[in-house]
Structure 1
Amino acid sequence: MKPGHPASLMRRRLLLSSAAATAAAATGTASLLAPRLARAAATYPERPITFICPWPVGGTADQSMRALCQVAAGLLKQSIVLENRAGASGMIGTKALARANPDGYTIGQIPISVTRFSQLGMLQLDPRTELTYLARTSGQTFGIAVPAASRFRSLADVIAEARADPGRITYAHAGIGGATHVGMEQFALAAGVKFNAVAYKGGSQALQDVLASQVDLLADSSSWAPHVEAGKLRLLATWGEQRTPRFKDTPTLRELGYNVVVEAPNGIGAPKGLPPEIEKKLRDAFRDAVASAEFKAVAARLDAPVMYLDGPDYRKYVAEVYSQETQLIQRLKLKDMLAQS
């Protein structure tokens, strides 16, 4: 059939009319949805918000997030209900957060270890592009502690025995591939020793077994702090850039000659696709919550230095850490370690 044939012209007109009708329908649908979305953002939040904490109840991250959510709830004039979904070094809760409806009614803590686990195949998403970042909040003070009756009086004692009997000394950590596990393995590599790692679902259970002298060492954020002050545990070293003011007599790993610094700051996020107006409300609320006297008091008690970043800067930070983790995974042979476990 020739292009100028009447039937051909008729068919072309029909196709053009159909395309125009489809475009008009799409425009009409968008114009109908826009006011609805605007109204939803204007009245948000109309019901309680669920906050997924990927760690067990009672740990330092759980306490920090509860304090933060309490202040943010007052600012948003709506309750925030904490839901603990622990396991897989924080990734069970992170997966649940990523799969939630992006309507602002499910938010949660995003462990910075998402940058590691996504590359290790334990988290099937790209944290650089598939999450909404609201705020980086505070860091953590990690350290190595032992029971008060332990044979180890100092970190030098630990190193001496580890060199004499590789793999004998056990340490408890909060999950394979997490900050406490990777931090200890970085330390072991720097010291030229080998430990026997014992994995738990979170720091609180690891703490209990060390207190009961079931495991030699505890590698954790400051869950050990009140027990050190009570004389039940002895703190051998911390992992920060500088000594923590609360335990100023305890040296850092770097001071002791091991170039290892671990801070693993906490952050808050939401599923990808959060409406911009709702994202702004949440960013504003958590910015003010982090700056509040109430949260700072809890952070100080937990030895959690405030390390606030707004959402866009937090996203850039995640991308930077992602690149650093690529090198760390190779250096520590983490994929092999996971395969063996």
Structure 2
Amino acid sequence: MQRRTWMAVVVATTLGMGTGMAQAQGEAFPNKPITLIVPYGPGGVTDVIARALGASMGKTLGQTVVVENKAGAAGAMGVVDMLTARPDGYRLTLAPVGIFRQPYIQKVAYDPVRDLTYIASFMTYDFILTVPASSPIRTLQDYVAWARQHPGQMSYGTPGKFTANHVAMALLEKKTGIQLNHAPFKGDADAISALAGGHIQSAIFANSILPQLQAGKVRALATAADRRPEAFADVPTFREAGYGFDVPSPLGIAGPKGLPQEVVRKLDAAVKAAMNDPGFQQVVANYGIRTDYRDHQAYAAFAQQAFAEEKAIVQGIGLD
């Protein structure tokens, strides 16, 4: 009897220790550095903002957030990485809206709704149609009129085929009936150089064009934002100009499917806290970025809606 009693105590104690250790491990998240994949090359606006966000999140989480650049696949390399990442919260990725479009354009290995856990969004891109400061085209109406008179002769640069930049211009073509000449580049830097060198007549950029605009090297004709961004307050939106569309492009953080809810909540809280961190706010202001926070529930709902809507957009403007 004594031996049985002793064995029962040992078993109970062992089970209790195991449960306690498991709880302690869960409560300790994170207890090592977190990797955040940026699916673009280093040095761009997205990379800079992501690093600032990671630094601010680290203050809340008590761990370093390390940025890993994985460019390629139209911004989907991070999502592909999540297919094999452990669902423990230590490997995350940025989730650009292009991941909802790609499955309707080409064969991909992922489902953007089923294969990811959405944590929070933190910013939105604004796309700005520009021409060189020396161009005789001064307004969007001038741009459309010239393109209408010269079908296929107005060239415009983007950071790549099927990007949201490309979508915005394809929508402009559909709304107006004009025919433009698309010149895709590897990124904004190459497109900016081509525009400055006179190799293309126009280009549509995200916020990376702000320094050139402030220096008077380019003229902004319109933005694809839903309302005028503060950094481009003097620039009309496509909708204001009478063309009836905008291209929302929030950017957020996602992890692999099956991420525990307590981990999601901690990461979500860290993103929300970063929105109020002076260091992050300064970097965002330097690039004229609009913050756009959605919590994990709202961001997951956005992902489902965006994936459903992209099919009609792709088919409607002939990108497929």
The TM-score, its normalising length taken from structure 2, stands at: 0.88
Q: AA paired with 2:160?
A: G
Look up the SS of the partner of 2:83 in the other structure. Answer: helix
Q: AA paired with 2:57?
A: A
Q: AA paired with 1:286?
A: V
Match for residue 278 of structure 2?
A: 293
Q: CA offset at residue 98 of structure 1?
A: 3.5
Distance 1:32 1:271, change over 3 A: farther
Q: CA offset at residue 31 of structure 1?
A: 9.9
1:167 is aligned to 2:152:
yes
Match for residue 122 of structure 2?
A: 137
Q: Distance in 2 between matches of 1:78 and 1:311?
A: 21
Q: Distance in 2 between matches of 1:281 and 1:249?
A: 39
Counterpart pick for 2:265 among 255, 280, 286: 280
1:237 is aligned to 2:222:
yes
1:178 is aligned to 2:163:
yes
User: What runs of 5+ residues in structure 1 fail to find an aligned partner?
Assistant: 1-29, 336-341
Match for residue 107 of structure 1?
A: 92
Q: Distance in 2 between matches of 1:217 and 1:57?
A: 25
Q: Distance in 2 between matches of 1:31 and 1:197?
A: 65
Task: Provide the alpha-carbon RMSD of the alignment.
Answer: 2.2
1:93 is aligned to 2:83:
no
User: What runs of 5+ residues in structure 2 fail to find an aligned partner?
Assistant: 1-14
Match for residue 269 of structure 1?
A: 254
1:331 is aligned to 2:312:
no
Counterpart pick for 1:255 among 224, 232, 240: 240
Match for residue 9 of structure 2?
A: none
1:79-114 Cα deviation digits (max 9, x unpaired): 111111122321123212333222222112101222
Match for residue 179 of structure 2?
A: 194
Distance 1:184 1:98, change over 3 A: farther
Give % identity.
Answer: 33
Match for residue 23 of structure 2?
A: 38
Q: CA offset at residue 325 of structure 1?
A: 1.2
Q: CA offset at residue 329 of structure 1?
A: 1.6
Distance 1:123 1:40, change over 3 A: farther
Q: CA offset at residue 247 of structure 1?
A: 2.8
Q: AA paired with 2:149?
A: A
Q: Distance in 2 between matches of 1:31 and 1:276?
A: 23
1:51-96 Cα deviation digits (max 9, x unpaired): 1011222322222212111100121121111111122321123212
Q: AA paired with 1:142?
A: F
The TM-score, its normalising length taken from structure 1, stands at: 0.83
Q: CA offset at residue 214 of structure 1?
A: 2.1
Q: CA offset at residue 160 of structure 1?
A: 2.2
Q: AA paired with 2:224?
A: W
Q: CA offset at residue 228 of structure 1?
A: 0.5
Look up the SS of the partner of 2:282 in the other structure. Answer: helix
1:125-149 Cα deviation digits (max 9, x unpaired): 2222210111011112211112222
Q: Which has the larger radius of gyration?
A: 1
Q: AA paired with 1:109?
A: L
